[in-house]
């Protein structure tokens, strides 16, 4: 459910209110029924979920697993970061991870995890400071050091070399190995998304500095760190190109459907370098995918939106896109039945 005081309950409720979407998978929601029911009332949606875990494996069933009864009285009515909401949202992600780690054949095993937005401030208030967000927590719990954030939309695919770090620290964190890993993850993700092991992917790699460093005049990182990573990727048979100026590469890559532009994926050096074009071009249809995990994880490409939470104003479009992509990815992995968290 994500943060129960954000728009997570609303976008889940609105997305799964569509019977056509519900009938193609079995769903389990880790969250609070009070918030989900409130969102349903505000949206005029009849409750469509059950509380019986035995129904979790049935396509068309939505099972709500609510262990928040003891904490309901402590949740604030007004939206915003709180310690209690941070503790609940963290616990629900942990429960989803445990279900994804169940052995094959277990009726409660999850084939994919779809996460609603959490508040990093709420996690921090609850004492969960080791992991800034979902991506880092998932990588830790699945013991997947080679993982990262990929954004997928109708026009663009964008991979991040660094994620939730202050902008001032990006230059210090970038290494040739880190950029190479992002290129390799982007390449593999593109092939997996089209489900063709013989497919190739054209990977554009952004420079860090304006004009990709302008031959060293505007910074040395592009030639000293990024360019060697591209050479190493090319030596591994990856069609990687760059470093390219970030102010032009996204325009060259963007085309509907995704992959019809000059590049199949763009590797950005830092969060906003990649997310600004994604959210400008693909808007609500963008989906965040954690690549490099042994399970599928997707999420909407937006935050908790505390400013509109509880007002029945949130759009479920990105959540629906995240659910649909998770189902497609599970089907492409020859999964016989998709059970989504």
Residue 338 has pLDDT above 90, yes or no: no
| Band of residue 53 on the pLDDT scale cut at 50, 70, 90 | low
CB 162 within 8 A of CB 271: yes
Measured from the Cβ of residue 127, the count of other Cβ atoms closer than 10 Å reads: 11
Domain-wise residue ranges, the chain: 1-144+293-341, 147-290
In sequence order, the β-bridge partners of residue 268 are 160
The HSE-up count of residue 273 (CA atoms within 13 Å, CB side) is 28
Same fold: 1-144+293-341 with 147-290 = yes
Supply the pLDDT for residue 242. Answer: 95
In sequence order, the β-bridge partners of residue 202 are 239
| Main-chain phi, psi angles of 318, to 5 degrees | -70, -35
Measured from the Cβ of residue 218, the count of other Cβ atoms closer than 10 Å reads: 15
The domain at 1-144+293-341 falls in which architecture? Answer: 3-Layer(aba) Sandwich (3.40)
pLDDT tens by residue, 267-297: 999 999 999 999 999 999 999 999 999 999 9
pLDDT tens by residue, 131-158: 988 999 999 999 998 999 999 999 999 9
Query: What CATH superfamily is the domain 147-290?
Result: Isopropylmalate Dehydrogenase (3.40.718.10)
Consecutive H or E run containing 224: none
| Main-chain phi, psi angles of 339, to 5 degrees | -120, 105
Percent helix, strand, coil in the chain, to 5, is 45, 15, 40
Sort strands 239-244 and 202-206 into parallel, antiparallel or unpaired: parallel
What is the total residue count of the chain?
341
CB 287 within 8 A of CB 325: yes
pLDDT tens by residue, 72-126: 555 656 788 999 999 999 999 999 999 999 998 898 899 999 999 999 999 999 9
């Amino acid at each position: 459910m994500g943060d129960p005081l954000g728009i997570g309950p609303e976008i889940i409720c609105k997305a799964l209110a569509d019977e056509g979407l519900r009938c193609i998978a079995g769903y389990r929601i880790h969250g609070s029924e009070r918030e989900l029911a409130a969102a349903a009332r505000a949206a005029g949606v009849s409750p469509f979920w059950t509380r019986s875990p035995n129904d979790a494996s049935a396509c068309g069933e939505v099972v709500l697993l609510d262990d928040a009864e003891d904490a309901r009285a402590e949740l604030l009515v007004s939206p915003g970061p709180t310690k209690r909401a941070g503790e609940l949202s963290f616990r629900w992600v942990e429960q989803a991870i445990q279900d994804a780690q169940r052995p094959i054949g277990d009726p409660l095993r999850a084939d994919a995890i779809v996460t609603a937005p959490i508040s990093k401030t709420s996690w921090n208030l609850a004492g969960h400071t080791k992991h800034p967000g979902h991506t880092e927590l998932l990588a830790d719990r699945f013991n997947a050091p080679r993982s990262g954030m990929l954004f997928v939309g109708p026009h663009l695919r964008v991979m991040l070399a660094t994620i939730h770090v202050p902008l001032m620290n990006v230059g210090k964190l970038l290494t040739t190995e880190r950029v190479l890993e992002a290129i390799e993850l982007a390449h593999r993700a593109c092939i997996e998304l089209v489900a063709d092991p013989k497919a190739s992917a054209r990977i554009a790699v952004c420079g860090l500095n304006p004009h990709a460093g302008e031959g060293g005049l505007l910074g040395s990182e592009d030639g000293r760190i990024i360019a060697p990573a591209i050479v190493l990727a090319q030596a591994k048979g990856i069609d990687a190109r760059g470093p390219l100026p970030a102010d032009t590469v996204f325009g060259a890559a963007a085309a509907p459907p995704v992959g019809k532009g000059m590049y199949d994926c763009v590797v950005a050096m830092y969060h906003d370098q990649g997310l600004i074009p994604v959210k400008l071009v693909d808007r609500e249809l963008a989906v965040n995918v954690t690549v490099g995990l042994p399970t599928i994880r997707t999420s909407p490409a937006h935050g908790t939106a505390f400013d509109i939470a509880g007002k029945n104003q949130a759009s479920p479009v990105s959540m629906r896109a995240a659910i649909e992509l998770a189902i497609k990815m599970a089907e492409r992995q020859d999964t016989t039945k998709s059970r989504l968290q």
